[in-house]
Each structure stands twice: as structure tokens, then as C-alpha cells.
Structure 1
Amino acid sequence: MTDAAPQPCDLLIEAGWVVPVVPHGVVLPDHAVAVSAGAIVAVLPIAEARARFAAKETVSRPDAALIPGLVNAHTHNPMTLLRGIADDLPLMTWLREHIWPVEAAVIGPEFVADGMALSIAEMLRGGTTCANENYFFPDVQAGVYKKHGFRARVGAVIIDFPSAWASSDDEYFDRACELHDAWRGDPLVGTAFAPHAPYTVNDANFERVRMLSDQLDVPVHLHTHETAQEVADSIQLHGQRPLARLDRLGLVNDRLIAVHMTQLTEAEIHLCAERGVSVVHCPESNLKLASGFCPACALLKAGVNLAIGTDGCASNNDLDMFGETRTAALLGKAVANDAAGFSAFEALHAATLGGAKALGFDARIGSIEIGKRADLVCVDLSQLETQPLHHVVSQLVYATGRQQVSDVWIDGVPKLRQRVLVDMDTDAIVANARQWRQRIAAIQR
């Protein structure tokens, strides 16, 4: 009797540690992940993997942790070209007196496409493989994401005033439905409705969003409860807090991706848990704009799905999900006055599977499980900044920098190989960003 012939596979990634996220709290030392046709087909010890599989390519990273790709659950990625133009200002001053006027002068397909290329390169170098996008010209965004093989949920903006994207309520909705039709069923790029915020969207438009979200079964990606002023204004104008108003309009359900949520009562937290709302915690943007503190530990204890997002580079000022996750974990403990709250494992879950669930992608990504897509990241833990290595997940959340990301795959396709971007011209991206700086500087004079 002879041994069975090795099973062919496209890719075998051998790592010092595999952190699958599911089951919770598990770290698998000296394990490998086998990939075929972009899907994970096995997670097993390295010795067994070598005996079982004949791989077209084997990547061996004995000093690295292999984790699911990070999911940036709230971004405005074209705004990467506005990084640093209006720092140290409160939200409404920042938005109305600086960001919106500059946007009005430069926004268009070219600005969006160039900002997207810069942001995708930055995200890949930081271990992010999926983004939840909320910005104008989502058709252009979707095309750029697809071109670079990057996974995304692209939101169609709905807002009560004209923009370069649409001039009327009807046009916003027509274009949103066209976007959905164009990308329906795409394996990498999905769509959502992205009504900007309760203070920029009227009741009738929210009701249209709810109706279409129900009909098309797509998420609603919304900034809400971002500041105390937003809540106070809502009470004055509508006689209700924003979440109560959204509930009256039928939007508080398991399709709602509620971003920021810094101003929450205990009853509102439990309402989100009961209805299956996902909350996206953007701590660094909220800190920088002094918007408030998301009660992350209270949300987790109530059973709310928690995700992490960087927000846009105009208010953060980076797309660093390792940094964001660390800040989220530390701030969560401080707000709850509980050093045991928002543990390293919970933070990594929020940055991966929590984000995937918020986007409705959790059947495909967010954890290293057989059958899921191979969106994977190798993180080099051999550097002195992450030594000595007592606890892998602790180091990933509390000590690791994004510069330690060595390799990235999306759908099993290499996107970063030993710190070098695959099929992206870094020099050209930087040169292009510099010419946008000059154009924007000329506008601000």
C-alpha cells in the first residue's frame, strides 16, 4: 500500500503563528494555510501541510504571525489627498469652513481616482485588505478598487444639497441605484447606501433609503451620534435624539452601519444590540476633532457587533489600522474605567471579523477558516520592537507597527511581497500626490 499523492494547491503560507480569530483566543504555532482558487482549503501544522500538499508556491515566514486582513470599516479614501490641510479645528468648523470649500474646488473623477490609488497603496502596506467607503463618485471608487483587486463596500452618498456627484434628491437616488446595478454580484466590490448624517439628510430621503435598503438587501452606512452638538440640534429640530429619529424612520436594524456613536445612553446601546446594528469605532478621528468617546466596552458587553475604522485622512491623518486598533483598545479601557475591558483578542476581532460582519462580508472574510477567501496578512514579529515575544496577540495589538507587515494577499493574490507593493508604482503614486498638493495649495491662497 502506497501513500496518497500530495494534493495540489496554489499557495502554502507557513507561519510561526496563525491567528485565525475564530475560535476566539486561539493562536496556532508553526501552522500553515493552504490556498486554492483564492479560497482557504486547510489550516494545519506545517509538517502535515508539507506532507499533504504540493503547492505551486510556498511562502515561509517562521518569524511572522499570519492574521486575517484588517477591515477598515469607515473610510473616505479620496480624502487622502486632503491629509493635513485643516488640522486642530472642531468638527463643524473643519467641515464647513475648510473641507467642503476645498472639495468643491477640486472634486471630480480625477481627484477621486488619484486619491484612491494613494489610499489603496497605504492600506496594503499596513495590512488592510478591505474598506468600507463613503464618498462622492462611488462609481470611480469601485472601478479603482476593482482594478487593484482590493475588497470594498462602496457607499452611494445621499445628502440634502447639490454636489459634483448629483444635483437633486432624485439624481442621488438614481445614481445610487445605477451603482448597485453595475456592481451587483461582484466578488470583490459591493455597494451600500451612504446617507451622510442625520443633520444633512431629511426624513423623506431617509425613508427612501430604508425602502431601497430593504428591497435590495444592502447596508446603510451612516455617521451618527458623532458629537454632543449633533444630538442637541436633533432634539431642537426634530424633538428626538438622532437614533430615536432613525428608529422612527425604520433604519435601526441589522443593515445599519452606525459610525462614531460617541453619545449613547444605556437604552440606546441595548436598542442597537436588540436590532443587530453594527457600530464602527473611529477613536483617532474622534479624539482629533474632540467629538467624544465611543463606549466600546459597554457596546461589547451588550452584544453589539463592534468594528474599527480610521475615518478619512483629512481628520485622522492616516489609514493605519494597527495604530487605530491599539488606540481603540486603550481608549475603551479608559472610558469604561476597566483595565480588563476591550482585550487584545476583542480588539483584533473588531479589526477583522467585526468589520467583515458590519459590511455583510463575514461569510467570506474576517477570519482564517476553511472555505473563506484568502485575504491574509503576514506580520513580522522578529523586530526588536516586538521582542521578547511572550504573547502574540498582545504584541499585535499593543506593540506592532504597520511597517512590520511583510506580505499581503487578497483572494490569494499577492499584493505586498516582503514590503514591496505588487503591480503598484510607488514613485508614480507619490509624484501624483505631490502635484495634487500644489493644486490644493493654490486654491487655499
Structure 2
Amino acid sequence: MQKVDSLVSARWVIPVEPEGTTLSHHTVAIRDGRIIDCLPTAQAEQQYQADRHQQLATHALIPGLVNAHTHNAMSLMRGLADDLPLMTWLQDHIWPAEGKHVSADFVHDGAELAMAEMLRGGTTCFSDMYFFPEVTGRLADRVGMRAVLGMIVIDMPTPYGSGPEDYLDKGLALHDAWRNHPHISTVFAPHAPYTVSPQWLERIRVLADQLDTRIHMHVHETAGEVMESVATTGQRPLERLDRLGLLNPSLIAVHMTQLNSDELDRIAETGVHVVHCPESNLKLASGFCPVHEMQHRGINVAIGTDGAASNNDLDLLGEVRTAALLAKAASGNAAALPAHRALRMATLDGARALGLDEEIGSLTPGKYADLCAIDLSGLESEPLYNPVSQLVYTSQRDKVSHVWVAGRLLLNERRLTTLDEADILARTRAWQARIAPEAPHD
């Protein structure tokens, strides 16, 4: 018998590729943090000997979920300023609160809260855009999560930096610090076309080309953003980015709710990746990302939660359900985004947007063993005719029982193995008392 580190057997294994595949009574074999085989359980028990054999008789085993857009530390602002449009929310509430409270300690505690929440919801990889990314990187390394750290750039000074030159210097140092890490990587993260001047966007494009690094940016988030750009520059934001040479496969464009047919064609032609954040867009009344039209054109669309301050959770499984339902309603086509395609958006398509699809996103031999087990038993989940449909339309994150990153068990029977839940809650409540002393926090 062949020796492996661990075997994970499940009632259903959903590898994501080939698309639409569901494997009954299968086992994933793991060695040195990677998947070496996926085969029928009876065969696996004859072929492999493992130190650990996790048997999940009522579960579906899927790739770990990929949250392609987050602002992790903003978890400490969850519910701070609800029911407001984007610019009022940002300018009158969020930016002032950040100016007063953001620090390395704030980012550490907020990111730790976010990572705990994401792991308990099945997310194994996140792409983060926020200040003090070096703090988030060190924390992700300790916790064991896979992370893509945004090298933030914005025209205005913040507690993190004095201006674009300072942000870029810190970003390049961040890139150098993590460039050889197996689980942590970096992308340039200019905030948006309306907060980063053209000369700095050009500089970022040149640096991204030199470093072979992607660019992660909010683009066409609201109608107001587009109208203001036309009024001040005579161009829509995408046109400006195109003229600056930023529309290419290195661009990860987040939100993209305001698009015409020509822009959709241009996005497809240039290979831009899109991150859809349906619940944040709904809550802020920002608009609807035309997912069905994008996928019809072959555009890669991933899913992100955005930050917990505007969502108000980091529940990617819930985001998948919302994305599937919203695509049907927005397009008038009930078949617009089937369950298996929605699941792929939160796994393989997310990995592809981040440039990680050779390493994660599907249960394919050779890839890292980033896995999520979801219990499909119980009266809320039965009868069960199609496991993938059940995952997307019925399952909730409290059914996530186990999570592995590179074969390391980070959630075991819903217990976090590398994070202290009681300590996280205590520090979160202390921040609540500082940020909004009048709010209840007992």
C-alpha cells in the first residue's frame, strides 16, 4: 500500500472540474499538502495507507472557497453605518472612522476576526485590499490561510501612508517580503479610478508589468462614479483605464455594475477578470453586475464579499446563492447562472482571477489540498436530489464542518484549530467600545 499523509472520504466529492461532476463515495488522498489522487473510497482503502483518515458519511467535499475581494479589517466596522448610499457611507462615516481608529493593531484584530469568520464559512483563500497589509500577511501565515495581499495606493494621506509614493514604497517592500511564500502573494491595489490619479495608475501599470503582478481595483461600482468621471474628464472610467493601458488579463476589476455593451465587448477582448460582490452592491444600492452577459462573452467572473462593513458578513456560501438568484432575476432567465457554475465562480474562477488556478480551485491531483466539507444531512437539507443544487440553494455556512489549507486542518467539527475564538471576541468587543461607546456591547 502507498503511504500518504491523510485521506478524506465523503459521501459526495464535487471536484468543480470537470464542470458539473459529482462523485459518490469518493476519497481525496493528500501528501505533502497536495492532492495526489481522487478515487472511489473502496479503492482508496485498498491502495493507500494514511496516518489520518477523515470519514464524512453525510458530507459534500468541495474545493476551499475563494473570496476574491475583501477588506478584512473593516470587520470591526460591521454595522457601523448601515442603510446609506456608497459615497455618503464612505465620506461621512467610514473614512472619518478610519482616520481616527486605523492602526496596525486595528488591522490585526479586524483581520483576525475576519479570518475566523471566513474559515467557519468554508473560505480558504482571500484577496484583501486594506491598509497595513504586512500585518494581515503575518497573521494569515500564522493562521494558515491562503492570502493575496493588496499593495494599497490612494491619492490621499491615511494613517498608513502620506501619499502614493509612500504607499508604493511600502507595497514594493511587501512584495519582496512575500514573493517566495507558498501561500501568500501580492497584487497592486489602487483603490479606484476616482481616488488614484492617472500618473500613478500609469506607474502602477509599469511596475505590475515588471513584477508580473496583477492589479486589483474598484471599477464602475456606481452610476455616480461613472457620471462624475464623464463630467470631469469627458470619459467613462473604463475608457480612461483603457487609454492608460490597464485593460489586460492582469486587471481584476471589482463590482462592475455600470457597463454598456461596448464595454462588455472590450472587457472580453482584453481578458480583464471581474469580481462580483452581489450582497454589498445590493445593500449599497450600487447596481447589478451583468454576470450572465459577461459569462456569455467568456469573461471570467469571480465572487467576493467586499468588507463586512458594507455586506455585513463574509459568508461566501451565502454570496454564491445570492449571485445565482440575482443573475436569474436581472437577466430574466432562470437558467442564467446554474448552481454548478455559481459554485465554480467561488472556487476555480476565483482562483483564476487571482492567478492561482494552477494551484487551487478544484480537487485536481497536483493542486494544493484546500478543501471544505459541508454536512448535507438534517431536515433542512432533505430530501436531497442534487448535491450541488443543495449546496448553492439550501446549505448555510453553519453546515461547514471541516476546512483544510494545503492539507492542514484549520476547522475541525466547526472548531478553529489555529485561532482562539474567546480572545477574538474579547478584543472585538473592546474595539466596539472605542469606536462607538454608546453602542451596546455586553
- What band does the TM-score fall into relative to the shorter chain? over 0.9
What letter corresponds to residue 195 of structure 1 in structure 2?
A: P
- Unmatched runs of 5 consecutive residues or more in structure 1: 1-5
What letter corresponds to residue 82 of structure 2 in structure 1?
A: D
What letter corresponds to residue 345 of structure 1 in structure 2?
A: H
How far off is 1:169 after superposition?
2.2
Verify the 8 A CA contact 1:102 1:443 in the aligned structure 2: no
What letter corresponds to residue 261 of structure 2 in structure 1?
A: E
Task: Report whether the alignment pairs 1:9 with 2:4.
Answer: yes
Match of 2:229 among 214, 225, 234: 234
Write the distance in 1 (CA, Å) between the matches of 2:125 and 2:394: 22
- Unmatched runs of 5 consecutive residues or more in structure 2: none
Q: What is the DSSP-based 3-state SS (H/G/I as helix, E as strand, rest coil) of the residue aligned with 1:34?
A: strand
Verify the 8 A CA contact 1:65 1:379 in the aligned structure 2: yes
1:198-217 equivalences under 5 Å are: 198-217=193-212
How many residues align structurally? Answer: 440
1:182-201 equivalences under 5 Å are: 182-201=177-196
Name the structure 2 match of 1:380. Answer: 375
How far off is 1:276 after superposition?
1.2
Write the distance in 1 (CA, Å) between the matches of 2:224 and 2:109: 34
Name the structure 2 match of 1:46. Answer: 41
CA offsets per residue over residues 189-243 of structure 1, 9 Å max, x none?
Answer: 1001000001101100000010000000111000010000100111111111111
Q: What is the DSSP-based 3-state SS (H/G/I as helix, E as strand, rest coil) of the residue aligned with 1:57?
A: strand
Write the distance in 2 (CA, Å) between the matches of 1:392 and 1:191: 35
How far off is 1:424 after superposition?
1.4
Name the structure 1 match of 2:341. Answer: 346
Task: Report whether the alignment pairs 1:78 with 2:105.
Answer: no
Verify the 8 A CA contact 2:277 2:305 in the aligned structure 1: yes
Name the structure 1 match of 2:100. Answer: 105
What letter corresponds to residue 272 of structure 1 in structure 2?
A: I
Task: Report whether the alignment pairs 1:402 with 2:397.
Answer: yes
Match of 2:356 among 355, 358, 361: 361
Match of 2:128 among 127, 133, 139: 133
Write the distance in 1 (CA, Å) between the matches of 2:353 and 2:240: 21
1:175-186 equivalences under 5 Å are: 175-186=170-181
How far off is 1:168 after superposition?
2.4
- TM-score (normalised: structure 1): 0.98
Q: What is the DSSP-based 3-state SS (H/G/I as helix, E as strand, rest coil) of the residue aligned with 2:410?
A: strand
Q: What is the DSSP-based 3-state SS (H/G/I as helix, E as strand, rest coil) of the residue aligned with 2:436?
A: helix
CA offsets per residue over residues 296-348 of structure 1, 9 Å max, x none?
Answer: 10001000001000000000000001110100000011111100111101100
What letter corresponds to residue 385 of structure 2 in structure 1?
A: H
RMSD of aligned C-alpha atoms? 1.1
What letter corresponds to residue 113 of structure 1 in structure 2?
A: H
Name the structure 2 match of 1:21. Answer: 16
Write the distance in 1 (CA, Å) between the matches of 2:83 and 2:380: 30
What letter corresponds to residue 390 of structure 2 in structure 1?
A: Q
Write the distance in 1 (CA, Å) between the matches of 2:265 and 2:222: 20
What letter corresponds to residue 283 of structure 1 in structure 2?
A: P
Task: Report whether the alignment pairs 1:413 with 2:393.
Answer: no
Name the structure 1 match of 2:283. Answer: 288
Verify the 8 A CA contact 1:13 1:32 in the aligned structure 2: yes
Verify the 8 A CA contact 1:105 1:443 in the aligned structure 2: no
What letter corresponds to residue 202 of structure 2 in structure 1?
A: E
1:52-91 equivalences under 5 Å are: 52-91=47-86
CA offsets per residue over residues 97-137 of structure 1, 9 Å max, x none?
Answer: 00000111110100000011111110000000000100011
What letter corresponds to residue 315 of structure 1 in structure 2?
A: S
Write the distance in 2 (CA, Å) between the matches of 1:408 and 1:169: 38
Verify the 8 A CA contact 1:256 1:278 in the aligned structure 2: yes
How far off is 1:275 after superposition?
1.2
Verify the 8 A CA contact 1:65 1:380 in the aligned structure 2: yes
Name the structure 1 match of 2:422. Answer: 427
Write the distance in 1 (CA, Å) between the matches of 2:13 and 2:390: 14
How far off is 1:407 after superposition?
0.4
Write the distance in 1 (CA, Å) between the matches of 2:103 and 2:184: 21
Write the distance in 1 (CA, Å) between the matches of 2:118 and 2:102: 22
- Identity of aligned pairs, percent? 54
Write the distance in 2 (CA, Å) between the matches of 1:141 and 1:308: 21
CA offsets per residue over residues 10-50 of structure 1, 9 Å max, x none?
Answer: 01000000000000000000000000000000000000000
Change (3 A) 1:443 1:161: farther
Write the distance in 1 (CA, Å) between the matches of 2:215 and 2:325: 28
Verify the 8 A CA contact 2:154 2:163 in the aligned structure 1: no
Verify the 8 A CA contact 1:386 1:395 in the aligned structure 2: yes
How far off is 1:443 after superposition?
9.2
Write the distance in 2 (CA, Å) between the matches of 1:121 and 1:105: 25
Write the distance in 2 (CA, Å) between the matches of 1:270 and 1:11: 46
What letter corresponds to residue 343 of structure 2 in structure 1?
A: L
Q: What is the DSSP-based 3-state SS (H/G/I as helix, E as strand, rest coil) of the residue aligned with 1:198?
A: coil
Write the distance in 2 (CA, Å) between the matches of 1:383 and 1:250: 52
Name the structure 2 match of 1:157. Answer: 152
Write the distance in 2 (CA, Å) between the matches of 1:15 and 1:276: 36
Verify the 8 A CA contact 2:131 2:160 in the aligned structure 1: yes
What letter corresponds to residue 431 of structure 1 in structure 2?
A: A
- TM-score (normalised: structure 2): 0.98
How far off is 1:419 after superposition?
1.0
Q: What is the DSSP-based 3-state SS (H/G/I as helix, E as strand, rest coil) of the residue aligned with 1:129?
A: strand
Write the distance in 1 (CA, Å) between the matches of 2:187 and 2:147: 10
CA offsets per residue over residues 75-96 of structure 1, 9 Å max, x none?
Answer: 0000000000000000000000
CA offsets per residue over residues 55-81 of structure 1, 9 Å max, x none?
Answer: 010000010000000000000000000
Verify the 8 A CA contact 1:10 1:56 in the aligned structure 2: yes
